Structure 1
Amino acid sequence: MQTTETADKRRLLSTISHVAIFFSWTFASIGVPLSILFISDDPVVKANAKESINFHLSVWIMGAVAAVLLAIPSFLTLGLLGWLAGGIGFLWVSTMTVLAVMNALANPDEPFRYPLILHIF
């Protein structure tokens, strides 16, 4: 049976791993879950950190693919398609992150799995 301190630490580290995507849209944001992955000994925290890293990588890859696919049509339509795709992408990232944080806070013993992402790690 785990103590309250362990559960609180698990909640905090798992939440920080998932929220890191809002710290910055640069490569620095992946450093937070990566450092938690190497520092923590807790298997659930490690699983949440790995999932967060996979989510970051998936978002970057999907964003790059969308940018390439929308470059010419967006240029021809004065950027409307790009803004629409960016808005939908931002809503998806925000919604998935909020769901991950809610899961980390409500179920500290269970790692969150993002749907529709690449699982590299």
Structure 2
Amino acid sequence: MEILIRNNDLKLQQNTMKVDIIQKPREFLLTELDENIYKNVSSISEEEVKEFFNTTTSTAIKCDDNLVKYINDSNCFLAEYYVNHKFYKEELYEYKIINGSIFYGCIDYSYKKGGIK
């Protein structure tokens, strides 16, 4: 019984320490997106951010094969992640602005290409 308890504890510890393979690119892309917005939008509001991305020709931010881009139709950001140059996952983010700060929330995700429209 003691061995089973120890094995369960070790498995729990290993699962807790496991790092999501897209966590680093996700953090980089969202940080670069933040920097792009704060650098180019004078008054941080939902209308100003939307106007900035609707008038900007290049809205994609890339990190290796991964990218995040603005989707005009839905006023959201789509992040695409690749592992070993193969598509892995995409996430759709909405954003809210509260007191001049931008907050992102993942509203949809897909593991197959073209899963989010």
Relative to the length of structure 1, the TM-score reads: 0.30
Which has the larger share of strand? 2
Greater Rg, structure 1 or structure 2? 2
Higher relative CO (Cα under 8 Å, sequence separation at least 6) belongs to 1
Which has the larger share of helix? 1
